[in-house]
Amino acid sequence: MMLSIHLDGTALKLATPACHLQVLANSHQGVKGGFNATLVWYINAQTTQWEQQLPSATLAYLNTARNTPNGGLNNYPYTNNAASYSTPQPEWIGLLNQQASWSMLQVKDMLEAALQRAKAA
């Protein structure tokens, strides 16, 4: 299944065919397997609605750090993930985590409805 979610509007597109991946057993990780999972991608993008709700000191820090060349938050959230994960900045991890959580909560009802339609198909 492919979902296209736009936080600046209300668009939620469901493309067909649905993409279901078979989950294989992995005893080392405690995964039983034997079922299908529906794949949903989340891609980070700058979300002004979320940023406007940040505390003023956090927003000021983000705006300064985002525009600092070679800074840990340079071009946030458009960051080189491989470089960020190799030397993660706590601020980067915290902000991205909260932004992703906020983003999913904004589209929770639409996402659940789309997943139910895919499940019924």
pLDDT tens per residue, range 24-83: 999 999 999 998 887 777 777 888 889 999 999 999 999 888 888 776 687 888 766 565
Model-wide pTM > 0.75: no
Q: Which pairs from 34-41 meet CB under 8 Å and 24+ separation?
A: 38/1, 38/115, 38/118, 38/119, 39/1, 40/1, 40/3, 40/111, 40/115, 41/2, 41/3
Which distant-in-sequence residues (6+ apart) come within 8 Å of 100 by Cβ? 42, 44
User: In this structure, is the dihedral angle defined by the CA atoms of residues 13, 14, 17 and 20, taken in order, positive or negative?
Assistant: positive
Q: 94 and 54 in contact (C-beta within 8 Å)? A: no
Per-residue pLDDT tens digits for 80-120: 656 555 666 788 889 989 998 998 888 888 778 877 877 77
Phi-psi region of 9 (alpha: psi -120 to 50; beta: other; left: phi over 0): beta
